[in-house]
């Protein structure tokens, strides 16, 4: 069976998550750390700083990749101190073709 390049967007195994990362996560390279982790696990979506000092992550991938990605987000880069990650399910969308740093 030949799959189109957009097959992952329609895969029933694909999940989408919203992570709100709290702690010392701005000004410590956290977004670049998240980008590298996302590329390692094949995550699509984005990461961005929020005005309140938190980092927001939208992530789309299969469940096992998302679990591994979240473990890395909990650890963060060396200078970060993650105190909490609030996780919520999101509807799967086909709007992400890669993982980006926004704002």
Identify the active-site residue in 49, 75, 81, 88: 49
In the annotation, is 31 catalytic?
yes
**Closest CA relative to residue 49, chosen from 57, 40, 41:** 57
Identify the active-site residue in 2, 6, 31, 102: 31
The HSE-up count of residue 86 (CA atoms within 13 Å, CB side) is: 6
In the annotation, is 88 catalytic?
no
Pairwise CA distance, residues 76 & 29, whole Å: 9
| Catalytically annotated residues | 31, 49
């Amino acid at each position: 069976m030949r799959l189109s390049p957009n097959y992952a967007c329609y895969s029933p195994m694909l999940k989408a998550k919203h992570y709100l990362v709290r702690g010392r996560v701005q000004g410590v390279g956290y977004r670049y750390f998240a980008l590298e982790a996302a590329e390692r696990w094949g995550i699509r979506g984005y990461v961005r700083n929020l005005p309140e000092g938190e980092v927001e992550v939208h992530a789309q991938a299969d469940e096992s990749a998302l679990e591994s990605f979240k473990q890395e987000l909990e650890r963060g880069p060396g200078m970060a101190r993650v105190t909490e990650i609030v996780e919520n399910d999101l509807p799967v969308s086909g709007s992400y073709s890669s993982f980006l740093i926004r704002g």
